[in-house]
Structure 1
Amino acid sequence: MTELDLTYNPHKEISLDDRRRRLLFRAWHRGIKELDLIFGNFVDANVKDFSEEDCIWFESLFEEQDHSILSWVTDGIDVPEKFQGDMMRRIQKLDFMTLKAK
Structure 2
Amino acid sequence: MTETIEHTRKRLHMRSMRRGIKEMDLILSGFAAEELTAMTADELALYDALLSENDHDLYGWVGGQFAVPDIYADLIARIAAGAHGVTRPA
Give the shorter-chain TM-score range.
0.7 to 0.9
Say which structure is richer in helix: 2
| Corresponding residue to 1:22 among 3, 6, 11 | 11
TM-score (norm 2): 0.86
Equivalent pairs counted in the alignment come to: 86
Tell me the CA shift for residue 41 of structure 1: 0.5
CA distance in 2 between partners of 1:83 and 1:90 (Å): 10
Identity of aligned residues (%): 27
CA distance in 2 between partners of 1:32 and 1:95 (Å): 15
TM-score (norm 1): 0.77
- 1:67–1:95 CA distance, 2 compared to 1 (3 A): closer
Check whether the contact 1:24–1:44 (CA below 8 A) recurs between aligned residues: yes
Check whether the contact 1:38–1:96 (CA below 8 A) recurs between aligned residues: no
| Corresponding residue to 1:77 among 39, 55, 66 | 66
5+ residue gaps, structure 1, are 1-11
CA distance in 2 between partners of 1:83 and 1:97 (Å): 22
Q: Is the partner of 2:85 in helix, strand or coil? A: helix
5+ residue gaps, structure 2, are none
Bigger relative contact order, structure 1 or 2 (CA pairs below 8 A, ≥6 apart): 1
Tell me the CA shift for residue 49 of structure 1: 0.7
- 1:97–1:55 CA distance, 2 compared to 1 (3 A): same
